[in-house]
Structure 1
């Protein structure tokens, strides 16, 4: 397991706060109430360890398969439905949405190999990630990857806690399946917009792993 580079600053700040809180308490107040000092120590240590775990990158055998769409993130499948995509395709598409809790790994990965033909950041609201309108009204970053005749739209969507979306892709770039495409801090959601008729390999409420689980077959 390694720590994602997006977490270096947050972990450094968290470590400084952890050290400051405990130093100040043990230096000024520990003599009056040592038990409370230990409670504060273990509580703040737990929060720091949780922060570190949020930016973890576990060692995994990633799925590389030309006929597969792999999951762009860890989480739980919360939507499988046909929609009318108003952003890019302007027609009926199949939407599969994956909710990422704060406990999930938050690295986002390319669902397939291909060429980046669209990349757009959208300002928006911070509705809870499972809200039906979060796909169209929340802050989000949309990318379309084209492979032959197949185009897949990936939306990184901010939630009530997630206030920073990072995307590493650029239009014209060639990308490889399961490699990093970005990161979302502190819980959110990722939508896959696929062609209607795509064979779906997952079910509602199924837990998936980014870069490993096969979401659909093309």
Structure 2
């Protein structure tokens, strides 16, 4: 990797939702430094971490309607057949659920796993348990999308975690999303669940690291020919 590529991979844009937090950390650092200089340097380190947390890098997303792309950076924490949340109105039969857990060091911008039209957006208040726990899917605060795809309806659920206290979703009903397109963000540690209909075959294992907009979580049928990627 060249020096230019290294710099580009490190100095990535900060999402607009993060600028107020970065500014707040920076001002707090200056105020603390006026009282005791070492606190200022600690504050600057935390400011740098905040900027890193809200990073929003470009990704190369495979454009293939047979592929399900990870909506989040993080660790695959579950691959199982589970009944989807009732507010998604996807029925009471188990669907394949693939969960990606994001810690506070992962990029937290969420991306659409498949191309399609958003037919439902459903928010539900709840608890703030550790998002890595299986019961967090049913008990935690969450926001779900139902996307009409070439293979039927899929569900994408943003789940707040132990530290997270704010789910952001700027996608609304009838929006059309491209695979890998940004649709939301969760602040400070959380999880994304993807619910898939029959025919989807998982392509990841529990414990594997996933990259939002790039890692293939599952596949419908078999890929046909070369896969084209979209930068975004």
TM over 0.5: yes
Based on CA coordinates, which of the two structures has the bigger radius of gyration? Answer: 1
Match of 1:139 in 2: 141
Q: Over aligned residue pairs, what C-alpha RMSD do you find?
A: 1.2
After superposing the two structures, state which structure 1 stretch, 1-10 or 82-91, moved more: 82-91
Contact 2:113-2:179 within 8 A present in 1 as well: yes
Match of 2:22 in 1: 11
1:120 partner SS: strand
Spell out the pairing of 1:143-182 with structure 2 (5 A cutoff). Answer: 143-182=145-184
Seen in structure 2, the aligned counterparts of structure 1 residues 49 and 112 have a Cα distance that, compared at 3 Å, is same
Mapped partners of 1:85, 1:43: distance in 2 = 43
2:51 partner SS: helix
Spell out the pairing of 1:70-81 with structure 2 (5 A cutoff). Answer: 70-81=69-80
Extract unaligned runs of 5+ from structure 2.
Answer: 1-11, 221-232
Match of 1:94 in 2: 96
How far 1:161 sits from its partner (Å)? 0.3
How far 1:66 sits from its partner (Å)? 1.8
Moved over 4 A (4+): none
Seen in structure 2, the aligned counterparts of structure 1 residues 179 and 65 have a Cα distance that, compared at 3 Å, is same
**CA displacement 1:98-141 (0-9 Å, x = unmatched):** 00000000000000111101101100000000111111110000
Match of 1:46 in 2: 45
Aligned residues: 206
